[in-house]
Amino acid sequence: MIFVHGWIKIPEDELEAAIHTASAMVLETVKEPGCLHYSFAKDITKAGLIHISERWDSEESLNAHFETPHMSAFNMTISGLTIEAMDIRLYSGEEVRVMMQS
């Protein structure tokens, strides 16, 4: 299993544009084969900080995601925003345990 976690920091006045394009990205990406989880979230304490959380069944599925038309459109829109900082990391692992659930 592949996990992608990270964050992007953009100016607060560009946040609405980022949210718009991220929403479209999520709606398409969750339909992809191998996508188990895909989300963006605004940080509740740091303005302009967006968290990224993804879970894929394999690295092949993630690589196929990079080739989709919606990923190309997302990258084009994001490249027009001011990225102040960014840190996105890929993790692989086989053991997954439920910590809490209801």
pLDDT > 90 in the chain, percent: 87
As a whole number, mean pLDDT of residues 33-56 equals 97
CATH architecture assigned to 2-92: 2-Layer Sandwich (3.30)
CB atoms near residue 7 (< 10 Å): 18
Kindly report, residue by residue over 46-87, the tens digit of the pLDDT: 999 999 999 999 999 999 999 999 999 999 998 999 999 999
pLDDT band with cut points at 50, 70 and 90 for residue 98: confident
Nearest CA to 30 out of 49, 55, 9 is that of 55
Nearest CA to 20 out of 65, 73, 84, 67 is that of 73
For residue 80, what are the CA distances in angstroms to 17, 18, 21, 38, 76?
10, 10, 11, 22, 7
d(CA 6, CA 64): 20
Rg (CA), the chain: 14
